[in-house]
Amino acid sequence: MSVKCQQKTYLTLTNTGGLSVKCRRRVGRVSVGSRWEVGERVVKEWLSIYYYIVVRWFSASIVGIHPNLQSFPIFAAMKNIAIFASGAGSNAQKIIDHFRGKGTVNVKYILCNKPGAGIFDIAERENIPAILIEKEQFFRGDTYVKLLQEANIDLIVLAGFLWKVPTNLVQAFPNKIINIHPALLPKYGGKGMYGHFVHEAVVAAQEKESGITIHYVNEHYDEGAPILQERCEVLSTDSPTDVAKKVQVLEHQWFPVIVERLLS
Ligand SMILES: Nc1nc2c(c(=O)[nH]1)N[C@@H](CN(C=O)c1ccc(C(=O)N[C@@H](CCC(=O)O)C(=O)O)cc1)CN2
Ligand SMILES: NCC(=O)N[C@@H]1O[C@H](COP(=O)([O-])[O-])[C@@H](O)[C@H]1O
C-alpha cells in the first residue's frame, strides 16, 4: 500500500528556547507496507508504549521504596540520549534498534543540521522528536545547551554529524559527548576528514588496514580521548567504497554496544 503527500515534520528552536513545528510537505508515493504490516507495526508500538508505562511506573515506585534496587537492570532509571547526525542516519538507526523494547535507553531527540537528510525520515518513522539545528543559535548562544540540559540528556551521540560542536556545549556535557570516526585516529582525522574523504585518503596512502575510532568529544575535531578502536583489512584492490562498506560493518556492530556500555 502506498500513500501520497506524506507530511514530514521537524522541530526548530525559537529564540526564546521554545520548540516550533515545521512541516516539510513531501509529495510523492510513500510506501508504508501492506495493511497487515501497518497493523502489526501499530500493535508493536502500542505494546512497547504499554510496557514502558507499566514497567517504568512499577520500577519507579519500587525504587522509591528500596533505592538500592536501582542497581538491578529492571529497576534502573531509563537513560536519555540525544543523537546528532547530518546524513542518512544508519548508525542512528542501529542504535535505536539496539535499545528497542529494552526500556533502558530513550532516544529523546534527534538533531540534524541538514534539511532533507535521511535522518529526518528515521525520526519520523520512529516517532522521535527531530530538531533542525539553526546555525547562528548553535554556534552563538546556549539555546541547544539549555534544551539538552532541560531534557536531562545523559549522553550526546554524534553519528555522522558534520559540524564542530562548540565549546559551550562540550563544557556543558563533560565526558558525555561521543563521536564515531571512520578511521583509526589520530591518522585521517581533523577538518575536512569526514565521510568518503576519509576512505579516499586511506586508499591513496595504500594503507593495509583501516577501521573505526569511537572517542569522547572535546573542543577540537577528533582529538578527544579514545574509547574503542576496531580494525579491518584493506586490500590493494579495495576502492574507497569497498573500505567504506567494511568500516560501516564495524560501526554498526560496535557503536550501539559502546553507547550501552557507557550508560550502564
Ligand atoms: N568539537 C567537536 N565536534 C565534532 C567532532 C569532534 O571531535 N569535536 N567530531 C566531528 C565528526 N567528525 C569526525 O569524526 C568530523 C566531521 C566534520 C568535519 C569537517 O571538516 N566538517 C566541515 C563542514 C562539513 C559540512 O558542513 O558539510 C568543516 O568543519 O569545514 C571534520 C570531522 C563532529 N563534531
Ligand atoms: N568524521 C565524521 C564522519 O565521517 N562520520 C561518518 O559519517 C558516517 C555517517 O553515516 P550514517 O549517517 O549512515 O550513520 C559514518 O560512516 C561516520 O563514521
Complex ipTM value: 0.99
Supply the pLDDT for residue 51.
56
The candidate with the shortest Cα–Cα distance to 211, out of 180, 165, 236, is: 180
What are the residue ranges in the chain where pLDDT is below 70? 1-9, 14-76
91 occurs within a structural domain? no
The candidate with the shortest Cα–Cα distance to 105, out of 153, 177, 39, is: 153
127 occurs within a structural domain? no
202 occurs within a structural domain? yes
Supply the pLDDT for residue 28.
36
241 occurs within a structural domain? yes
252 occurs within a structural domain? yes
- In 3-state terms, the chain is what percent helix, strand and coil (to 5)? 40, 25, 35
The candidate with the shortest Cα–Cα distance to 2, out of 27, 31, 25, 42, is: 31
Supply the pLDDT for residue 211.
99
Q: For the whole prediction, is pTM greater than 0.90?
A: no
232 occurs within a structural domain? yes
35 occurs within a structural domain? no
CATH number of the domain encompassing residue 204: 3.40.50.170
Q: How many domains does the chain have?
A: 1
63 occurs within a structural domain? no
Ligand 1 neighbours by CB, cut-off 6 Å: 158, 161-165, 170, 179, 181, 191-194, 217, 219-222, 224
- Out of 110, 161, 164, 180, mutate this one to test ligand 2's pocket (max ligand atoms within 8 Å of CB): namely 180
The string of pLDDT tens digits covering residues 1-15 is: 232 334 456 777 766
Supply the pLDDT for residue 40.
60
Choose the catalytic residue: 181, 196, 199, 252. Answer: 181
Cβ-Cβ contacts under 8 Å for 158 (sequence gap 6 or more): 84, 85, 165, 177, 178, 179, 180, 217
Supply the pLDDT for residue 16.
64
Range of 196's domain? 180-264
